[in-house]
């Protein structure tokens, strides 16, 4: 199959979140399955021509090769993309994001005929690429080149929808009739993700549970109605984990390598972590770890409510993260009160993240909602038992054989589950078994790419548009 992956960020060229990991790893795994894949993304400032073997191919288009023979195309427009950020900077989102991603989308549809790549599937990601299918099903509807092309939209986080003022609609070059509740309008604004949902042949999210949750009022961010209408075309595929980066057997950042069959080394990592974090070198006390954005989505509202009680228990807690100022302030206050219990690192630090995954006993991830989540998958691989709220990707990857879950989002339930995990921890034999069971879970891209290939086949089988 010929597949075009269209995303606004792709590892290793540009990244702000999990979308880039997927858009970088999936093409490689699809190529391994024998598919012909191209990637098309904007050429940001961070993508210098000299880097990654990037060369100018023609006016406005740069390119390189990934994997064995995946052509990566970068759409150039210095006025739009040669900026410090991808979507915005500290002061907020770029004001011309509609025009920027309109340019990218149009250029993508123009590029494929020029380079002779006739896609069976255009796989778009998030709102930034949604105009590609909106245009495909409207302005390019009768273009013979795309006659047999089908589309898949992957939603990585429904909270980001690409909302723009109605006044900008003429910039899109679309008929005003499309600005209605059934298509692009959302409470008087333009909603690009909604357009993507309406016009894509199939839609998926990054976990099966999240694909169901987003059809409810609680998680649907206002799009639950339109998603419910497409429920037969909506599914979920969990993201894979890059085991070339996250493998305790080969991890260069950690004090001692270990594996499911040779778990002893994990203790050295706990000692190392305690030392770095100036925590007492206690063996029998459970060490909890958090590596996260400090945001309400990640459960910091209930954690804030429970933290004093948690810190009064016989445990240790290492927190690495940055985010909302209010949580920075709150946690700094807690550290002052419980310096021997909690160690706080308000920064982004990849090395320390590896050490926390390797050295902790329990990984705390009580996210309020979680489309997929990587932290719990990483911690499983490192035999660090995840403790999570049962939602989205957390519900799909954590169960009573490999972790601890609570199903009512309150500070009381969180605290109760922390206490429960401590009880199990004190039964060392049971704990060893739990660790070994956790380490056997595998979320490799090889398997997940097969699921995407099945979705592409399902899209292909759909009636001609």
Query: What residues line the site for ligand ADP (CB under 6 A)?
Result: 17-18, 291-293, 320-322, 348-350, 353, 372-375
For 50, how many CA atoms within 13 A lie in the half-sphere containing its CB?
0
β-sheet bridge partners, residue 61: 58, 75
Place of tokens 């390598």: 257
- Indicate the residue among 151 and 292 with the shorter CB distance to ligand ADP: 292
- Indicate the residue among 115 and 346 with the shorter CB distance to ligand ADP: 346
Place of tokens 């702000």: 16
Q: 428-439 and 411-426 are packed helices; what angle lies between their axes, rounded to 10 degrees?
A: 110
Distance CA 290, CA 125 (A): 28
- Indicate the residue among 190 and 237 with the shorter CB distance to ligand ADP: 237
- Indicate the residue among 16 and 454 with the shorter CB distance to ligand ADP: 16
187, 190, 193, 196: CA torsion to nearest 10 = 110
Does residue 167 sit in helix, strand or coil?
Answer: helix
Place of tokens 């910091």: 300
Please report, for residues 32, 242, 355, the alpha-carbon distance to residue 442 in angstroms, rounded to integers and kept in the order given.
Answer: 18, 10, 20
Smallest distance, ligand ADP to C-beta of residue 73, A: 26
Give, in degrees to the nearest 5, the angle at Cα 125 between 123 and 129: 95
- Indicate the residue among 109 and 372 with the shorter CB distance to ligand ADP: 372
Smallest distance, ligand ADP to C-beta of residue 388, A: 11
- Indicate the residue among 233 and 296 with the shorter CB distance to ligand ADP: 296
Distance of CA 404 to the CA centre of its chain: 22
- Indicate the residue among 291 and 310 with the shorter CB distance to ligand ADP: 291
Q: Which one, of 207, 256, 215, lies nearest residue 232 by Cα?
A: 215
Cβ–Cβ < 8 Å for 179, 130: no
Smallest distance, ligand ADP to C-beta of residue 225, A: 25
β-sheet bridge partners, residue 165: 189
Smallest distance, ligand ADP to C-beta of residue 297, A: 7
Smallest distance, ligand ADP to C-beta of residue 348, A: 4
Smallest distance, ligand ADP to C-beta of residue 246, A: 8
Does residue 440 sit in helix, strand or coil?
Answer: coil
Smallest distance, ligand ADP to C-beta of residue 384, A: 12
Smallest distance, ligand ADP to C-beta of residue 330, A: 17
- Indicate the residue among 76 and 296 with the shorter CB distance to ligand ADP: 296
């Amino acid at each position: 199959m010929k597949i075009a992956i269209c995303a606004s960020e792709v590892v290793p060229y540009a990244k702000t979140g999990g979308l880039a990991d997927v858009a970088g790893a999936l093409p490689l795994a699809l190529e391994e399955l024998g598919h012909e894949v191209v990637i098309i993304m904007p050429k940001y400032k961070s993508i210098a021509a000299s880097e990654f073997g990037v060369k100018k191919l023609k006016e406005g288009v740069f390119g390189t090769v990934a994997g064995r023979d995946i052509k990566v195309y970068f759409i150039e427009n210095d006025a739009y993309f040669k900026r410090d950020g991808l979507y915005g900077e500290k002061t907020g989102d770029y004001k011309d994001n509609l025009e920027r991603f309109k340019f990218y989308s149009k250029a993508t549809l123009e590029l494929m005929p020029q380079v002779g790549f006739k896609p069976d599937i255009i796989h778009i990601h998030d709102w930034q690429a949604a105009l590609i299918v909106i245009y495909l099903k409207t302005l390019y509807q009768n273009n013979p080149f795309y006659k047999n092309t089908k589309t898949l939209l992957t939603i990585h986080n429904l909270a980001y929808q690409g909302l723009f003022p109605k006044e900008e609609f003429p910039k899109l070059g679309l008929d005003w009739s499309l600005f209605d509740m059934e298509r692009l309008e959302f409470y008087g604004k333009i909603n690009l993700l909604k357009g993507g949902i309406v016009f894509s042949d199939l839609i998926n999210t990054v976990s099966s549970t999240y694909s169901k949750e987003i059809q409810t009022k609680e998680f649907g961010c206002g799009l639950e109605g339109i998603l419910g209408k497409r429920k037969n075309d909506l599914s979920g595929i969990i993201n894979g984990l890059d085991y070339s980066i996250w493998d305790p057997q080969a991890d260069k950042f950690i004090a001692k390598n270990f594996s499911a069959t040779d778990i002893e080394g994990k203790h050295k990592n706990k000692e190392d972590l305690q030392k770095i974090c100036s925590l007492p070198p206690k063996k029998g006390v459970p060490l909890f770890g958090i590596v996260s954005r400090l945001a309400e989505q990640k459960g910091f509202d209930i954690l804030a409510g429970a933290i004093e009680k948690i810190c009064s228990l016989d445990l240790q807690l290492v927190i690495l993260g940055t985010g909302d100022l209010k949580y920075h302030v709150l946690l700094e206050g807690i550290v002052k009160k419980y310096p021997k219990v909690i160690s706080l690192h308000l920064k982004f630090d990849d090395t320390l993240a590896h050490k926390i995954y390797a050295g902790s006993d329990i990984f705390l991830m009580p996210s309020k909602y979680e489309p997929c989540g990587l932290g719990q998958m990483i911690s499983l691989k490192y035999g660090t038992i995840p403790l999570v709220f049962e939602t989205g990707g957390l519900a799909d990857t954590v169960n009573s054989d490999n972790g601890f879950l609570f199903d009512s989002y309150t500070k009381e339930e969180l605290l109760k589950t922390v206490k429960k995990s401590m009880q199990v921890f004190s039964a060392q034999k049971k704990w060893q078994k739990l660790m070994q069971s956790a380490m056997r879970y595998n979320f490799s891209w090889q398997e997940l790419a097969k699921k995407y290939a099945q979705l592409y086949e399902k899209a292909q089988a759909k009636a001609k548009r």
